Amino acid sequence: MNTKLTAGIVILCICFGIGTWSIVTMPKSGRTILHLPYLFIRPTERPIPTPTARPVLVQPVRVPILMYHYVEIVKDPKDTIREGLDILPKTMDAQIATFLSHGYTPIFMSDLAAYLDGKGTLPDKPIVFTFDDGYRDFYTDAYPILQKYHVKATSYVVPGFLDKPNYMTKQEVMDIASSGLVEVAAHTVHHVSLKGISPQLLHAEIYGSKTQLEHLIGKPVIDFAYPYGSYDSAAVIAVSAAGFRTATTTRPGIIQSPDYRFTLLRLRPGARTGTYLISWLESIKK
């Protein structure tokens, strides 16, 4: 083949090659690409990946979590511990009436959990009524008041104490759990102070209380309270690892933050009622 013919063929091939390369602007993404066989095959658009859900930025929120222990008329005048933790049923009744008349909406701890997860909204003036320890009087004295006003509450139950004197029976816990008014939550198996205890005991008391209560009531138990308000970082990690979604302390405060969902703040309403109760609550800023 002579040289001129060879050179001609090479130049022809180069020109054809350049001609078939095309600058293509993709219609959806707007990206410009260099595409070879555009003359023959229309390039397929690369699918735009569906954006993965970004974590929702949840703002700290003002939610009073009120803490109750005994609600009864203490019969033994020497029982000063009980008296110190007690409010009279008529006081609790008056407090609930006051909160409702001032536009507060009772919610469960699990409602706050959903909000902190970025999955739920809260009513205008949310409030949580929590009752610690699963005492008998929750069933005999507090629960009827909740029913009277149709008010939601969260009851922190100690499963190892059920059916013992002074505590609710298993049947009573099943009753309140199925009422729709009371959310059953956990408070360790034996009301143990969690600070500084072994990892094995932490697991047994925290995870054990969740599974025992779930087995009893047939519903998820996702909220926890530290007995005596006692916890350390190992306890917080164990509560989270057990699958709980919130945990409350006895530290006072009203602003609940997703960063502190396992060390939430609570308030003791004491015997305050009426406008004194409301002005006390509304004076609390953090």
Q: How far is the CB of 279 from Zn ion (least distance, A)?
A: 29
* Closest residue to Zn ion using C-beta atoms: 132
Interaction site with Zn ion (CB under 5 A): 132-133, 227
Q: How far is the CB of 118 from Zn ion (least distance, A)?
A: 30
Q: How far is the CB of 143 from Zn ion (least distance, A)?
A: 18
What span, in angstroms and rounded, lies between the C-alpha atoms of 256 and 116?
9
Question: Could you tell me the CA-to-CA distances from 197 to 191, 232, 246, 265 in Å, in that order?
Answer: 13, 10, 21, 23
What span, in angstroms and rounded, lies between the C-alpha atoms of 200 and 204?
6
Q: What are the contacts of 87-90 at 24+ separation with CB within 8 A?
A: 87/269, 87/270, 87/271, 88/271, 89/141, 89/142, 89/145
Question: Could you tell me the CA-to-CA distances from 50 to 27, 47, 53, 54 in Å, in that order?
Answer: 17, 9, 9, 12
- Residue nearer to Zn ion on the CB measure, 68 or 99: 68
Phi/psi for 147 (5° steps) reads -65, -40
Q: How far is the CB of 230 from Zn ion (least distance, A)?
A: 10
- Residue nearer to Zn ion on the CB measure, 68 or 207: 68
Q: How far is the CB of 47 from Zn ion (least distance, A)?
A: 55
- Residue nearer to Zn ion on the CB measure, 111 or 132: 132
Instruction: State the residue for tokens 């033994």.
Output: 76
- Residue nearer to Zn ion on the CB measure, 64 or 227: 227
Q: How far is the CB of 226 from Zn ion (least distance, A)?
A: 8
As a 3-state breakdown, the chain gives helix, strand, coil percent values, each rounded to 5, of 40, 20, 40
- Residue nearer to Zn ion on the CB measure, 72 or 133: 133
- Residue nearer to Zn ion on the CB measure, 131 or 143: 131
Which pairing describes strands 153-157 and 126-133: parallel, antiparallel, or unpaired?
parallel
